[in-house]
């Protein structure tokens, strides 16, 4: 009798703890962390959400039925109550029933699951195309019709705060780890095609509000599409392990009404044109150093570190290195084409020629490297064009 009581008390306490815990989180008054999938802002994400809720409730009902039967049996059919064991070993009827019913449930589930998948995967005619290239650990966005392109990296505030024992409380950083320097700007209510690929390892481009993620595979181009139904800022992250800073390559979408988007695009086209001019003119050493310091902080410091000391063994130091102090031609080649088999990117198609020239100038004259070299954007253009 005593044993039985202990058991019932223990079960009740466990059940109560777990139930209280779940209910607390599910209670409408709970204002803490989100616990369910987002409804999102596209037809795809809403379909996904609905399907998720349907399947979730089917699973809950199945679970409740099975566990109720089991716990009824646990309470009622126990030896301590003097219950005698029956000795039946099978029932063909029951076994057929509980094979057929799950099959029927699965068929019922398969119907909406199939239509949803077809809707999500089969792209309609799209109005614009954005190419997304993942590389360690940033995203590059190219607007195919507009010839706008830029790189989107973790915001510098987050990047500083996320260092090991940085001393900065993440709560004090706005949108910690989910903020970038250059968000992907898109028009609302426009059918957009994405071409998704990668430069080094596999990444996965995921904004939950859009309702899907798609792997970015080097050497292959995956297609996806969206039509975002309302303007706003939507955040996501790389979803496929891609190396040490996998957790630090967020995605931010800034969705604008169509007219505002047009204004933004116009501004960007001007910026691109200005960038072309910048590449053609001669820069002073001070200009290069100042720009180079910013480019280095945004692009290079993740691996080579802010002080140029690198991070052994994978990421070599630039301070006092044979490359940064050696022949400038060799250094340029490394930066333009990367180093195979390492995390060193081919930056040639990633950054503008002036940014590359500035970063080169900076690294050859910072951290105690005193080559005195000045690398002009024109030089980069010339070498790139062979």
At its nearest, how many Å lie between other proteins and the CB of residue 247? 3
**Does the protein bind other proteins through residue 171 (CB under 8 A)?**
yes
Q: Which of 12, 20, 117, 144 binds other proteins (CB under 8 A)?
A: 117
Q: Taking the CB of residue 369, how many other CB atoms lie within 10 A of it?
A: 18
**Does the protein bind other proteins through residue 236 (CB under 8 A)?**
yes
C-alpha distances (whole Å) from 371 to each of 130, 285, 358, 366 are 41, 13, 14, 9
Q: Do the Cβ atoms of 270 and 150 come closer than 8 Å?
A: no
Query: Cβ closer to other proteins: 78 or 285?
Result: 78
Q: Distance between CA atoms of 300 and 326, rounded to whole angstroms?
A: 19
Interface positions, 22-41, toward other proteins (CB under 8 A): 22, 25, 32-38
**Does the protein bind other proteins through residue 14 (CB under 8 A)?**
yes
Under DSSP, the state recorded for 218 is: B
**Does the protein bind other proteins through residue 365 (CB under 8 A)?**
no
At its nearest, how many Å lie between other proteins and the CB of residue 239? 4
Query: Cβ closer to other proteins: 35 or 282?
Result: 35
Q: Distance between CA atoms of 237 and 111, rounded to whole angstroms?
A: 31
C-alpha distances (whole Å) from 260 to each of 130, 189, 263, 265, 359 are 18, 13, 5, 9, 33
HSE-CB at 366 with a 13 A cutoff on CA atoms is 26
**Does the protein bind other proteins through residue 349 (CB under 8 A)?**
no
Interface positions, 39-98, toward other proteins (CB under 8 A): 45, 47-48, 51-52, 55-56, 59, 62-63, 66-67, 69-70, 73-74, 77-80, 83-91, 94-95, 98
Residues in the chain: 386
C-alpha distances (whole Å) from 263 to each of 121, 143, 254 are 31, 15, 14
Q: Do the Cβ atoms of 353 and 380 come closer than 8 Å?
A: yes
Query: Cβ closer to other proteins: 82 or 372?
Result: 82
Write out the two tokens for 210: 């859009």
Considering only the stretches 243-251, 253-261, 328-336, 365-373, report the one whose residues sit in contact with other proteins under the rule CB under 8 A. Answer: 243-251
Query: Cβ closer to other proteins: 27 or 90?
Result: 90
**Does the protein bind other proteins through residue 168 (CB under 8 A)?**
yes
Under DSSP, the state recorded for 43 is: H
Considering only the stretches 110-118, 263-271, 281-289, 357-365, report the one whose residues sit in contact with other proteins under the rule CB under 8 A. Answer: 110-118
DSSP output for 287-334: HHHHHHHHHIIIIIHHHH-TTS--BTTTB---TT-HHHHS-HHHHHHH
Q: Which of 202, 229, 301, 328 binds other proteins (CB under 8 A)?
A: 202
Query: Cβ closer to other proteins: 67 or 233?
Result: 67
Q: Which of 157, 215, 287, 373 binds other proteins (CB under 8 A)?
A: 215
Interface positions, 283-322, toward other proteins (CB under 8 A): 311-314
Residue whose token pair is 């987002």: 38
Angle at 197 between CA 196 and CA 201, to 5 degrees: 140
Compute how many residues bind other proteins; rule: CB under 8 A.
Answer: 113
Considering only the stretches 218-226, 280-288, 289-297, 324-332, report the one whose residues sit in contact with other proteins under the rule CB under 8 A. Answer: 218-226
Query: Cβ closer to other proteins: 86 or 284?
Result: 86
At its nearest, how many Å lie between other proteins and the CB of residue 381? 25
At its nearest, how many Å lie between other proteins and the CB of residue 311? 8
**Does the protein bind other proteins through residue 189 (CB under 8 A)?**
no
């Amino acid at each position: 009798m005593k044993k039985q009581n202990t058991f019932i008390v223990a079960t009740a306490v466990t059940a109560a703890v777990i139930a209280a815990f779940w209910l607390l989180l599910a209670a409408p008054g709970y204002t803490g962390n989100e616990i369910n999938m987002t409804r999102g802002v596209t037809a795809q994400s809403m379909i996904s959400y609905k399907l998720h809720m349907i399947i979730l409730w089917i699973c809950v009902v199945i679970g409740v039925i099975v566990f109720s039967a089991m716990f009824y049996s646990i309470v009622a059919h126990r030896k301590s109550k003097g219950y005698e064991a029956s000795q039946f070993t099978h029932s063909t009827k029951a076994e057929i029933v509980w094979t057929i019913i799950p099959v029927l449930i699965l068929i019922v589930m398969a119907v909406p699951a199939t239509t949803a998948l077809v809707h999500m995967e089969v792209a309609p005619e799209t109005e614009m195309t954005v190419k997304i290239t993942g590389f360690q650990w940033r995203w590059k966005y190219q607007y195919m019709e507009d010839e706008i392109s830029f790189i989107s990296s973790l915001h510098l505030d987050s990047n500083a705060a996320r260092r090991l024992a940085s001393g900065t409380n993440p709560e004090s950083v706005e949108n910690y780890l989910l903020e970038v320097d250059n968000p992907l700007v898109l028009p609302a209510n426009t059918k957009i095609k994405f071409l998704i690929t990668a430069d080094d390892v596999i990444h996965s481009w995921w904004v939950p509000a859009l309702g899907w993620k798609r792997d970015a595979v080097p050497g292959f181009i995956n297609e996806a599409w969206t039509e975002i139904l309302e303007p706003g800022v939507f955040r996501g992250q790389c979803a496929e392990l891609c190396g040490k800073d996998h957790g630090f390559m967020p995605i931010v979408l800034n969705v604008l009404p169509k007219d505002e988007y047009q204004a933004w695009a116009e501004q960007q086209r001007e910026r691109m044109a200005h960038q072309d001019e910048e590449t053609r003119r001669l820069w002073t050493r001070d200009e290069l150093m100042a720009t180079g310091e910013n480019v280095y902080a945004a692009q290079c410091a993740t691996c080579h570190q802010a002080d140029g000391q690198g991070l052994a063994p994978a990421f070599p130091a630039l301070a006092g290195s044979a490359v940064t102090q050696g022949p400038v031609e060799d250094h340029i080649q490394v930066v333009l084409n990367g180093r195979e088999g390492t995390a060193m990117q081919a930056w040639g198609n990633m950054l503008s020629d002036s940014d590359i020239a500035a970063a080169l100038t900076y690294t050859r004259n910072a951290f105690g490297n005193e080559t005195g070299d000045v690398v002009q954007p024109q030089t980069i253009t010339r070498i790139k064009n062979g």
